[in-house]
């Protein structure tokens, strides 16, 4: 498991992901709870320009638009998730903008957003923090002066204390998801095997999740040009108790562009 493709994030977020992770990314109650937290933390105005970066199928963006926020944009790399997001937005008659892009270099204009959200542990895909810092610097470039970024991340202390090297759960009637985890100083390496009861093995992929200690993240944000770095506290958004792996408990951190 030590050898893995560092570009795993370019391939894993597809139709299978929407089934294996449905408990977290397709649950309306979970999404509503997370957006409640965003609203309470950032005190947004309805006219604020909001970027949901690495926003997948736009579940947070669509919920924000339902609540009256008029200028919400989703950027994600996955064409599959963007297509699903466009379909979901059309069903509720909401005009959310969906764009494809790499978070390291988005190609959007400077200083155009009031807030950037990175939800569901969509930050920290790289073991090398210089790569993670590229994303933070890109976020800073996109924010107007005084604009804020909100990072929803794995709660590092909780993940280390409650670490489980293996887990499995059934996803729907056909799929079984098995995960083997290896704890490292910088994060967790996860081998995910997805088996179909009907068709056998359909996925075997290894990916990395960075576990940021608060001081490490604070230094990274400060070095990227952010100020007013604040840990908001712990977030538990799943409506039912259970083993949700690394997403069971998260830390929320905000920072401001001077």
Q: What is the pLDDT of residues 15-37, one digit of tens each?
A: 999 999 998 899 999 999 999 99
Question: What pTM was computed for the model?
Answer: 0.94
Let me know: does 40 contact 68? Beta carbons within 8 Å: no
Which residues are CB-neighbours of 7 under 8 A, at least 6 positions away? none
CA gap 133, 220 in Å, rounded: 7
pLDDT of residue 1: 64
Domain boundaries defined on the chain: 8-155+211-256
Tokens describing residue 2? 């030590």
pLDDT of residue 207: 95
Q: What is the pLDDT of residues 144-165, one digit of tens each?
A: 999 999 999 999 999 999 899 9
* 250 Rama sector, left if φ>0, alpha if ψ -120 to 50, beta otherwise: beta
pLDDT of residue 102: 96
- Residue 29, class by beta-carbon neighbours within 10 Å (0-12 exposed, 13-18 middle, 19+ buried)? exposed
227-235, strands of its sheet edge to edge: 97-100, 71-76, 49-53, 113-118, 143-154, 250-256, 227-235
CA gap 36, 29 in Å, rounded: 10
- Mean pLDDT along residues 57-62: 97
Lowest mean pLDDT among 59-63, 97-101, 244-248: 244-248
Q: What is the CATH number of domain 8-155+211-256?
A: 3.40.50.150
Reported as a pLDDT band with limits 50, 70 and 90, residue 93 is confident
pLDDT of residue 249: 87
């Amino acid at each position: 498991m030590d050898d893995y493709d560092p570009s795993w994030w370019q391939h894993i977020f597809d139709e299978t992901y929407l089934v294996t992770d449905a408990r977290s990314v397709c649950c309306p109650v979970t999404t509503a709870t997370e957006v409640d937290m965003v609203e309470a933390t950032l005190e947004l105005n309805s006219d604020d320009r909001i970027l949901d970066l690495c926003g997948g199928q736009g579940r947070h963006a669509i919920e924000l638009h339902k609540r009256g926020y008029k200028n919400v944009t989703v950027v994600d790399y996955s064409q599959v998730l963007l297509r699903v997001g466009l379909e979901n937005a059309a069903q509720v008659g909401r005009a959310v903008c969906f764009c494809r892009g790499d978070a390291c270099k988005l190609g959007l204009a400077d200083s155009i957003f009031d807030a950037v959200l990175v939800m569901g542990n969509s930050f920290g895909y790289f073991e090398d923090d210089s790569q993670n810092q590229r994303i933070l610097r890109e976020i800073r470039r996109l924010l107007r002066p005084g604009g804020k970024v909100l990072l929803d991340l794995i709660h590092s202390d909780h993940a280390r204390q409650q670490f489980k090297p293996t887990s499995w759960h059934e996803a729907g009637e056909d799929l079984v998801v098995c995960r083997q985890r290896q704890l490292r100083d910088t994060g967790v390496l996860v081998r995910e095997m997805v088996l179909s009861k009907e068709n056998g093995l359909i996925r075997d992929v290894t990916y990395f999740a960075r576990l940021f200690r608060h001081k490490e993240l604070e230094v990274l944000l400060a070095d990227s040009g952010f100020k007013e770095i604040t840990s908001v506290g712990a977030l538990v958004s799943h409506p039912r108790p259970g083993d949700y792996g690394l997403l069971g408990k998260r830390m929320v951190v905000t920072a401001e562009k001077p």
